[in-house]
Structure 1
């Protein structure tokens, strides 16, 4: 009798252990991606808890994870919190991430995981457009009041101009705040990504009629990545994702997404 009880207990233990292992395998299939809590058309956007989402970046992630059998979970959050979450390993990856030496310490950047190439532009009120030059020389704009969002990376040319000759306000935490200052007349020029008017079309529809980008300044920022957390992602999982991404990019479905979002000029 004692042996039967011991055997039963041992069997129950094995079942429990098997259940825990199965639960671990299922959890390991999850792929948690932080996304900025903002509308970044045509690259990405999320609504609510992230289940409603779209844009080139996220639809590519959807396709790749589906092929891997992973369950992707999008976590929309303010940009600074997204960076911190990636650093602490609270998420597996962060979308739309520029590479910097500081971020190299906690994120893995791979050429195969580049999402698109971005440019910086200068935006002014349409009614005042004639007062501004079209120049590729950053210091041509030294006399103007300018603003840009903090915690965004604008590329080496812009970063140098910020230190050398621009009068620039960096107190805004988002591109929405920067353009609100432009509309209110508190600044002369908004510094932002070249696709900002498109990405803010839903949230700030008044921009399209009141704001215009200067033609000449189109300064290369660099490549933007799906950055993987060094703490949360193993090398094996990263390799698996990148390999699946490479295979997907060779399919007609990928080319359809490129055409859908007019991405050809943004791809490296």
Structure 2
């Protein structure tokens, strides 16, 4: 058999080396599911998830899915239903969820030394105090200005436990943020603890509420928000699940994604 030209030999060697380098990634992709079904709340959580189209977290996870070769499927359900179905393994994960110790029974978080690792978050978020413009209730970053204030919060949101630890009388509501802001205007509660960006966004869309409501400048609670993966997926595909969280971190910090997300993050 005649010798191959040197240039052709080099091309063949290069092709072999590239194929070998891709083998671990391909093997890891085969370890994971073909489709990942993720639950997001069926209400606006601006700018992270929206009822009118994809939000920040959808764009981020779509890019993650492309890198891992997995189809991301989104389902919208009430928040409590998302948590229940993650625990049951009926969905593969829940988006935009803060860590609480009791939530470790619901699904898996990217943990390091017994705590969630914020490097692998979807994004940072905060909860703030919204009160009637004439209210004397305030928050200084450590405590409320009144003892045992009546506070409204969305059902099963992560701010409920910190509020109760601060002595607040918390009413959990299945209603959305706009309806809770209306409770504040009507005087049915002393204040509301809402996600800061979502509360600000709804006030910008409802001038009638904005004229009657103010927000305390210091946030009550600043939780990183994660993609919580069902225990079923995490147990069946541990290496792939770790790679999923690592890919979230790398995509989140990429210049291409930050350019895409910038319009959603404008004040």
The TM-score by the shorter chain falls in which range? 0.7 to 0.9
Q: Which residue does the alignment assign to 1:106? A: 106
Which structure has more strand as a fraction of its residues? 1
Alignment of 1:180 onto 2:182:
yes
Change in Cα spacing, 1:98 to 1:213, as seen in structure 2 (3 Å) is same
Q: Which residue does the alignment assign to 1:21? A: none
Q: Which residue does the alignment assign to 1:224? A: 225
Any idea what SS the aligned residue of 1:207 has? Answer: helix
CA RMSD of aligned residues (A): 2.9
Pick one of 241, 250, 255 that aligns with 1:252.
255
Count of residues in Structure 1 that have an aligned counterpart in Structure 2: 228
* Separation in 2, partners of 1:86, 1:100: 15
Q: TM-score, normalised by structure 2?
A: 0.73
Pick one of 181, 191, 207 that aligns with 2:193.
191
1:37-95 deviation digits (Å, cap 9, x = unpaired): 11111111134xxxxx3221111001111222221110000000000111111111110
* Separation in 2, partners of 1:143, 1:259: 39
Q: Which runs of 5+ in 1 are unaligned?
A: 1-24, 48-52
* 1:261 CA displacement: 3.0
Q: Which residue does the alignment assign to 2:20? A: none
Pick one of 240, 243, 266 that aligns with 1:240.
243
1:81-126 deviation digits (Å, cap 9, x = unpaired): 0001111111111101111122112311113431122222111223
Contact 2:137–2:190 under 8 Å retained in 1: no
Counterparts in 2 of 1:30-179, with a 5 A limit?
A: 30-47=35-52, 53-110=53-110, 111=117, 112-126=119-133, 128=134, 131-133=136-138, 135-142=140-147, 144-154=149-159, 157-161=162-166, 164=167, 166-179=168-181
Q: TM-score, normalised by structure 1?
A: 0.73
* 1:228 CA displacement: 0.6
* Separation in 1, partners of 2:182, 2:131: 12
1:192-224 deviation digits (Å, cap 9, x = unpaired): 222232443698564334322122x31233211
Comparing 167-176 with 54-63, which one deviates more in the overlay?
167-176
Contact 1:39–1:203 under 8 Å retained in 2: no
Contact 1:96–1:115 under 8 Å retained in 2: yes
* 1:191 CA displacement: 1.7
* Separation in 1, partners of 2:43, 2:203: 12
Q: Which runs of 5+ in 2 are unaligned?
A: 1-29, 111-116
Contact 2:47–2:198 under 8 Å retained in 1: no
